[in-house]
Structure 1
Amino acid sequence: MEDPNLKHLGQETKYAFTYDPDVLDVFPNRHLDIDYFVKFNCPEFTSLCPMTNQPDFGTIYISYVPDEKLIESKSLKLYLFSYRNHGDFHENCIVTIMKDLKAIMEPKYIEVWGKFLPRGGLSIDPYANYGKEGTRWAEVANQRLFQHDMNPETITNR
């Protein structure tokens, strides 16, 4: 089923080398009768340190409960790739990703968690989330934020 609103799917891939939220596409949720999670893992996320211009590498986890729209995965890949030459701090990248996805999808719930490889002996794992006001997902967002790292993982790969 083709959707005329999807700009990238089935087209030649053109990569943006600077931050570009305009590449994001959405498509309609055909299952409005139930709540469900969609999760994306991006283990090859790259951005640049805004101070040194050196590359930063990390894994980005994006989970959301859609409302009327879902994010198209190829456009998400292109969007995340657009950070490749973007200079920003890890925390700002994660919050911006969450805000951009929230703006285009208007999900019931979304969370974005970055797990960056260390530089200078320190790794940074910023987390941001949102639950739609007036729904039970607003309280879920508060609880997940309060408890998101209550059981820290054992770090074996960094």
Structure 2
Amino acid sequence: MNELKQLGNETNYSFDYSPEVLEAFDNKHPDNDYWVKFNAPEFTSLCPITGQPDFATIYISYVPGKKMVESKSLKLYLFSFRNRGDFHEDCINIIMKDLIGLMNPKYIEVWGKFLPRGGISIDPYANYGQPGTKYEELAWFRMQRHDLNPERVDNR
């Protein structure tokens, strides 16, 4: 009956990129439009050139369709970036595309607030709305305005 494998079981952390740990469950309210938001303030990955660690808060917001991501599996998935060498922009797009593949949300956005390294911080933002729907229009609207009123960033 319960198809979730991570929740309620012993936690095994993978130090290698592991999209297969992501799990979804049925949305009990697929006809409602509502936001689900995750803030992951302990995200780490590696610079693909220097191997130095990068630290960020990852913000994931989505309007679910028929499926939703299970939070423990999301935590384990994000942890699996720990030894992955990708640029900040790649991490954000990979996370977004993996979540789209898992649950086909109506709308999703992923924003990374990376700590400065070498005197500069990078804050990549990506979003997606289902094509041909009002969510596609929402994606363009949010893309144009995503940083007009930035939230307070208190992790730097």
The 1-side partners of 2:154 and 2:65 are apart by 36
Alignment of 1:85-124 (within 5 A): 85-124=83-122
Deviations 1:45-66 (A, max 9, x none): 0000111111100100000000
Cα–Cα, structure 1 residues 33 and 114, in superposed 2: closer, same or farther, change >3 Å?
A: same
Once residues 53 and 43 of structure 1 are traced to their aligned partners in structure 2, the CA distance between those partners, rounded to angstroms, is 21
Q: In the comparison of the two structures, how many residue pairs are matched? A: 156
Pair 157,22 (structure 1): closer, same or farther in 2 beyond 3 Å: closer
The 5-angstrom pairing of residues 1-158 of structure 1 reads: 3-4=2-3, 6-153=4-151, 157-158=155-156
Alpha-carbon distance between aligned partners in 2 of 1:82 and 1:148, rounded to the nearest angstrom: 27
Q: CA deviation at 1:155?
A: 5.4
* RMSD of aligned alpha carbons: 1.2
Superposed displacement of residue 103, structure 1: 0.6
CA distance in 1, matches of 2:66, 2:137: 20
Structure 2 CA distance for partners of 1:27 and 1:156, relative to 1, 3 Å: closer
Q: Deviations over 1:69-107 (max 9, x none)?
A: 000000000000000111110000000000000111100
SS at match of 1:104: helix
% of aligned pairs identical? 68
- After TM superposition, the score normalised by the length of structure 2 is 0.96
Q: What code does the residue aligned with 2:15 have? A: F
Q: Report the residue type matching 1:132 in the other structure.
A: Q
5+ residue gaps, structure 2, are none
Separation in 2, partners of 1:30, 1:48: 37
